[in-house]
Amino acid sequence: MRDIHEVLDRRAVTPLFQPLVEISTGRVLGYEALSRGPAGSPWERPDDLFAAARVAGRESELDWICRARAYEGALAAGYDPELTLFVNMEPAAAGTPCPPDLLPLIECARHRLRVVTEVTERALAGDPSGLLLAVAASRAADWGVALDDVGADPMSLALMPFVHPDVVKLDMGMLRAPGDPHTARVVAAVAAYAEASGAIVLAEGIETEEHLAIARTMGATVGQGWHFGRPAALPDGPSAGATLPFIPPPTADDRTPYTIVGARRPLTRATKAQLMPISRHLEALAFDEGEPSVLLACFQDARHFTPATARRFGRLAGNSPLVAALGTGLTEEPAPGVRGACLDDEDALRGEWNVIVVGPHRAAALVARDLGDTGAESERRFDFALTHDRALVIEAARSLLGRLAPLRSLDAAFEELVDVLGVHAGEGARG
Asked if residue 419 has pLDDT above 60, the reply is no
- Cα–Cα distance measured from residue 42 to residue 3, given in angstroms and rounded to the nearest whole number: 9
- Cα–Cα distance measured from residue 331 to residue 314, given in angstroms and rounded to the nearest whole number: 14
Mean of the pLDDT values across residues 398-421? 57
Asked if residue 168 has pLDDT above 50, the reply is yes
Q: Express each pLDDT in 2-33 by its tens digit.
A: 899 999 999 999 999 999 999 999 999 999 99
Across the chain, mean pLDDT equals 88
Mean of the pLDDT values across residues 146-171? 87
Asked if residue 169 has pLDDT above 70, the reply is yes
> What pLDDT score does 231 carry?
96
Whether the CB-CB separation of 363 and 261 falls below 8 Å is answered with no
> What pLDDT score does 156 carry?
74
> What pLDDT score does 198 carry?
95
Lowest average pLDDT, out of 156-160, 190-194, 276-280, 401-405, goes to 401-405
> What pLDDT score does 426 carry?
35
Asked if residue 117 has pLDDT above 50, the reply is yes
Higher pLDDT, 175 or 422: 175
Q: Express each pLDDT in 307-338 by its tens digit.
A: 999 999 999 998 888 899 999 999 999 999 99
DSSP assignment string, 103-122: HHHHHHHHHH-EEEEEEETH
Q: Which domains does the chain have, with CATH numbers?
A: 4-250 (3.20.20.450), 257-407 (3.30.870)
Dihedrals phi, psi of 262, to nearest 5 degrees: -65, -25
Lowest average pLDDT, out of 27-41, 69-83, 117-131, 246-260, goes to 117-131
Mean of the pLDDT values across residues 382-387? 98
> What pLDDT score does 265 carry?
96
List the one residue out of 180, 115, 127 whose CA is nearest residue 151. 180
Mean of the pLDDT values across residues 276-305? 91
HSE, CB side, 13 Å, CA atoms: give it for residue 142.
16
> What pLDDT score does 406 carry?
53
List the one residue out of 231, 237, 238, 211 whose CA is nearest residue 23. 211
Asked if residue 414 has pLDDT above 50, the reply is no
